[in-house]
Amino acid sequence: MASLTDENLVSARPREGVGFLNYLTEVFTADFVSALMVTVGVIVLSVVIQLPIGLGLALLLVRPLMGKAALRTFITLPMMLTPMAVGLMWRFLVDPDLGAIRWFASLVDETWQPNILGNPVGALGLIVTVNSWINIPFVTLLMLAALLGVPGDLYEAAAIDGAGWWRTLLKITVPSIAPVLAVCAALRVAADFRMFDLVFTITRGGPGSSTVNLSMLAYQESMVNFQIGRACAIAVAMAVIAMPFYWFFNRMMRE
């Protein structure tokens, strides 16, 4: 109901109903569309990166390898870190003045001053990269569990028929773990749709508003502009947009 009022944190007067004005001034605007496009872009790029790499690492871990336990620990290490801590770490690494990347660049050329956070494409790419680095271990573990459940008889039959590695992957492995792939994609879409911590710690939505996603837009309205009614309108719009994804996820879980 707050989305239908003019509630804010700076006025002492009682809140008043404004109908759907908050939706007209916040949801149906260029800022909301821009934030939605950033959100969709991060989701698509993250899923496209995380699923293939996660599957590749799972295929590596399912094979008999020396030091596999150490490799598994190394791969899953980023998952143990909190996104806020990881975001702050990467923000320090790419700091244009004091960051480690700036220092390494100076070793190559003293006049080279990479400013990833000052470039809209670089800033968005950094968010996608860090998000993928954190969540690829989760995808890998799900894929590994699915691969361990594929009957070995299928691979033996494929080997007898002379199927190569690539054909075996496309004809046996991927179809066998397709439900897990779908659930994994749905989980990543749901998590990335509401992403806030990495955007807040790494870019603050900048440069300008080039990395402001829907969660960051709601934060700016509530905690920067103190417009609770408008922030609630954005939150309601996010819930409506997310409904099809959660419906798909629930359907996959039932199957």
pLDDT in tens, 126-168: 999 999 999 999 999 999 999 999 888 888 888 888 888 899 9
Min mean pLDDT across 6-10, 183-187, 197-201 is at: 6-10
Determine the CATH number of domain 2-74+136-254.
1.10.3720.10
Cα separation values, 234 from 12, 184, 213, Å:
23, 27, 11
Domain ranges of the chain: 2-74+136-254
Q: What is the mean pLDDT of residues 182-190?
A: 89
pLDDT higher than 90, residue 24: no
For residues 118 and 198, what is the distance between their CA atoms, to the nearest angstrom?
Answer: 16
pTM of the model: 0.89
- Quote the distance between the C-alpha of residue 222 and its chain's center: 23
With a pLDDT cut of 70, the percent of the chain lying above it is 91
Q: How many CB atoms lie within 10 A of CB 210?
A: 16
pLDDT of 25-35, one tens digit each?
777 788 999 99
